[in-house]
Amino acid sequence: MHHANHFYGHAHVLAEYCGLDAEHPPRIDGYVQHGWNVVDGLGIGTPYMPGRPIFVWSEQTRRRAWSMGRRQATVIGAPFLYLLRFAPPPPEPVTRAGTIWYPFHGWESQRVKGSHGRLVDEIMATETGPVTFCLYWNEYRNDRVRAEYEQAGRVVCHGYRGFQFRDTDTRFLHNQLGELRRHVRVASNRLSSAVLYGVAAGCEPAVYGDPMHLEREDLATAERIRRQWPELHGRHPESEPARRSALAELGDGYLASPAELRAMLGWTPDRLAAERVAVPA
């Protein structure tokens, strides 16, 4: 199994949905898309073994993968939507307040370039309620960056994505869902997985502010995202078109049953028995 299948606890969420051990998910026979992107569903630079299955979130991503020669792409929907299927409902009464804001972030190989201070000023001039800033682990561990956001509001981090099967916060998506359910709005300076998840969790979306940039970023792709999904951009996008678009990108309508998903991911009775995994009744 490619280690990216464990990112954000995706394999763990899918295993739990399928009635398997969520702490020790079986090996997935292929590659699971681990974040929203506008290419073939695989992360940039992901080593790919030709002919292996790719499990993507949406039909649009499947078509792009097909056009790029990835002919084994299958739409299964985003793991976050599976979590919504089995996660306990929030405690009653549900009280939402303010905005959860996800600043565009870097990662191990590319740092983000831009002024966090100016972005905070724009956010605070726009939002009318309390703001929670959710920093990616990369920025959360940077004391200087984190301090700029702590001066303006509450700062959280959903956990570490994981790498090479180590230190994965298997409750990452659970933590994220819990935070999203506390807020009225979800916003970012770039359209991202977090904004789409927020819509699925019942938040009103917004994408505005300095988009910042990554080192060595393909700027043409970033600009195309704003042109292709205008309904999700702006301080107050129209709710219904934004929701339809977000759910389509997450693959709503393509979710499989537990039995179907086990078959697609290679979690067959014979394979599970060989790996000494308990087979669901």
Q: What six digits make up the tokens of 76? A: 């299964």
The pLDDT assigned to 62 comes to 96
Q: What six digits make up the tokens of 266? A: 């290679």
197, 80 in Cβ contact below 8 A? yes
The pLDDT assigned to 137 comes to 87
DSSP state of 234: B
- The structure tokens 């990835």 sit at 70
The pLDDT assigned to 110 comes to 66
pLDDT in tens, 34-68: 999 998 998 777 777 888 899 999 999 999 999 98
Mean pLDDT, the chain, whole residue set: 91
Give backbone dihedrals phi and psi of 238, rounded to 5 degrees, phi first: -65, 130
The pLDDT assigned to 249 comes to 98
Q: Residue 112 in 3-state DSSP?
A: strand
- The structure tokens 């702490």 sit at 23
Task: Give the separation between CA 36 and CA 201, rounded to whole angstroms.
Answer: 16
The pLDDT assigned to 69 comes to 87
pLDDT in tens, 111-165: 778 889 999 999 999 999 999 999 998 889 889 999 999 999 999 999 998 877 7
pTM for this structure?
A: 0.94
Task: Give the separation between CA 40 and CA 61, rounded to whole angstroms.
Answer: 6
Task: Give the separation between CA 97 and CA 271, rounded to whole angstroms.
Answer: 46
Query: Which is it for strands 213-214 and 112-113: parallel, antiparallel or unpaired?
Result: antiparallel
Neighbours of 222 (CB within 10 A): 17
DSSP H or E segment with residue 90: none
Lowest-confidence pick of 73-82, 87-96, 172-181, 209-218: 209-218
In this prediction, residues 208-228 reach a mean pLDDT of 82
Task: Give the separation between CA 173 and CA 176, rounded to whole angstroms.
Answer: 5
In this prediction, residues 187-204 reach a mean pLDDT of 97
In this prediction, residues 207-231 reach a mean pLDDT of 85
Residue 11, pLDDT > 70, answer: yes
Q: Which domains does the chain have, with CATH numbers?
A: 3-78+251-274 (no CATH), 99-249 (3.40.50)
pLDDT in tens, 63-116: 999 998 888 999 999 999 999 999 998 887 778 999 999 999 766 656 778 889
The pLDDT assigned to 33 comes to 96
In this prediction, residues 185-197 reach a mean pLDDT of 97
Give backbone dihedrals phi and psi of 216, rounded to 5 degrees, phi first: 60, 30
Q: Residue 42 in 3-state DSSP?
A: coil
DSSP string, 176-195: HHHHHTT-SEEEESS--HHH
Q: 265: number of CA atoms within 13 Å, CB side?
A: 30
